Amino acid sequence: MKDQKAILDLARKTIAAEAAAIDHLRTLINSDFADTVSCILQSKGRVVISGIGKSAIIASKIVATMNSTGTPAIFMHAADAIHGDLGTIQKNDVVICISKSGNTPEIKMLVPLIQRGSNVLIGMTGNMDSFLAEKANFVLNTFVEKEACPNNLAPTTSTTAQLVMGDALAVCLLKLRGFSSRDFAKYHPGGTLGKKLYLRVGDITTQNLIPEVAPETPVKDAIVEISEKMLGVTAVVDNGKLIGIITDGDIRRMLNKHDNISGLLARDIMSANPKTIGTDILAIKALKHMQDNDISQLLAVDNGQYKGVVHIHNLIKEGII
């Protein structure tokens, strides 16, 4: 369809325009950026980020990113600040004001109020000749030649540049703080992301029944054990020692080989040396172990002692997959 082609061409043109602007952003990084990072690292307060219009929305996102990566931050709307919310800024806070033009009325009113205190002011603007750029202690240049909007009006490329500059700040701060995946998990305890960072095999096995048979257990009883525990598998344990595993696949192979199973025992059909994983291992690593070995469950052990089963369905339920 002609209309479909026009839509796709416009979408690709928009993406290409924004990509080019972001690539150019690399050339605008200078010593003010490094000084901004150092200033925030040395600050004993928070990062207060402010803006108006679409820049305010970007400011909120940057705040969220910083808070989740170890840099305390708070959002302050520029319009609200000049109508009572200026008290948001505390003595040791670093303030970042975001404005494409750097000359909006709210920013022109807000900047002198910030300067009355001892707070460091960082301007993020696309206009290096603006009021904000002139008054700020450090300036983060987010200049873009034009918006992706065909009318060059709607904030598109410019807000993308602001967002990327904020990400660059957050990543530098994260790295310099030595912020680890363990730290990240503390800030993201809920949802899939958090579970990937903190959920361990032992947390899952406690939710399951623990299938177990002895080597001398008749195969019929082993099948019942697998069925009742609903994990498609049972461990074979001899005097507390894990010696094997029986899976649904083992049962099917046995039925293909034997017409009469009445004399068969668990040890006759088990697979020796089963794949195991420690209860203290992250669940996401259990998933990789399953994928690498093309299996759907692992036997969990703690100091060599069998503790239960972690099944791929558990990982799906927890959102790990």
In the chain, residues under CATH classification 3.10.580.10 are: 201-317
Task: Give pLDDT, residue 191.
Answer: 60
Q: Is 136 exposed, middle or buried (0-12, 13-18, 19+ CB in 10 A)?
A: buried
Show Cβ contacts of residue 70 under 8 Å, excluding neighbours closer than 6 positions. 173, 174, 177, 179, 183, 187
**pLDDT surpassing 70 at residue 1:** no
Q: Which helix (H) or strand (E) holds 243?
A: strand 241-247
Task: Give pLDDT, residue 320.
Answer: 77
3-state SS class at 251: helix
Longest dimension (CA), the chain: 91
- pLDDT above 70 coverage of the chain, percent: 94
Q: In this predicted model, what pLDDT tens digit does every residue of 150-186 receive, in sequence order?
A: 898 899 999 999 999 999 999 999 999 998 766 776 6
Q: Is the pTM of this model over 0.85?
A: no
Say which CATH topology domain 201-317 has.
CBS-domain (3.10.580)
**The two structure tokens encoding residue 238:** 């001899």
Task: Give pLDDT, residue 153.
Answer: 86
Who wins on pLDDT, 318 or 31? 31
* DSSP strand pairing (47-51 vs 73-77): parallel
Quote the CA–CA distance of 289 and 276 in Å, as a whole number.
9
**pLDDT surpassing 90 at residue 101:** yes
* DSSP strand pairing (47-51 vs 138-141): unpaired
Other beta carbons within 10 Å of 285: 14
Residue whose pair of structure tokens reads 């030595």 in the numeric block: 178
Task: Give pLDDT, residue 199.
Answer: 83
Quote the CA–CA distance of 285 and 196 in Å, as a whole number.
9
Say if CB 244 and CB 156 are below 8 A apart.
no
Q: Can you give 89-149 as a three-state secondary structure string?
A: CCCCCEEEEEECCCCCHHHHHHHHHHHCCCCCEEEEECCCCCHHHHHCCEEEECCCCCCCC
Q: Which option is the CATH number for 2-178: 3.40.50.10490, 3.30.420.40, 3.40.190.10, 3.30.70.270?
A: 3.40.50.10490
Find the Cα–Cα–Cα–Cα dihedral 268, 269, 273, 278, rounded to 10°: -120
The CA-based angle 232-236-242, given to 5 degrees, is 120
In the chain, residues under CATH classification 3.40.50.10490 are: 2-178
Residue whose pair of structure tokens reads 């595993």 in the numeric block: 245
Task: Give pLDDT, residue 198.
Answer: 73
Q: In this predicted model, what pLDDT tens digit does every residue of 261-284 receive, in sequence order?
A: 888 999 999 999 899 999 999 988
Say if CB 299 and CB 252 are below 8 A apart.
no
**pLDDT surpassing 90 at residue 18:** yes
Q: In this predicted model, what pLDDT tens digit does every residue of 114-157 receive, in sequence order?
A: 998 889 999 999 999 999 999 999 999 999 999 998 898 899 99
Task: Give pLDDT, residue 194.
Answer: 64
Q: In this predicted model, what pLDDT tens digit does every residue of 193-235 receive, in sequence order?
A: 666 667 899 999 999 999 999 999 999 999 999 999 999 999 9
Task: Give pLDDT, residue 186.
Answer: 67
**pLDDT surpassing 70 at residue 190:** no
Q: Which residues pair with 181 in a beta bridge?
A: none
Say if CB 276 and CB 242 are below 8 A apart.
yes
Find the Cα–Cα–Cα–Cα dihedral 165, 166, 167, 171, rounded to 10°: 100
Show Cβ contacts of residue 240 under 8 Å, excluding neighbours closer than 6 positions. 305
Lowest-confidence pick of 11-15, 52-56, 58-62, 252-256 = 252-256
State mean pLDDT over 289-306.
Answer: 92
Task: Give pLDDT, residue 193.
Answer: 62
Q: Which helix (H) or strand (E) holds 187?
A: helix 181-187
Lowest-confidence pick of 16-30, 77-91, 191-205, 241-255 = 191-205
Task: Give pLDDT, residue 2.
Answer: 65
Residue whose C-alpha is closest to residue 240's, from 302, 303, 305: 305
Q: In this predicted model, what pLDDT tens digit does every residue of 27-68 receive, in sequence order?
A: 999 999 999 999 999 999 999 999 999 999 999 999 999 998
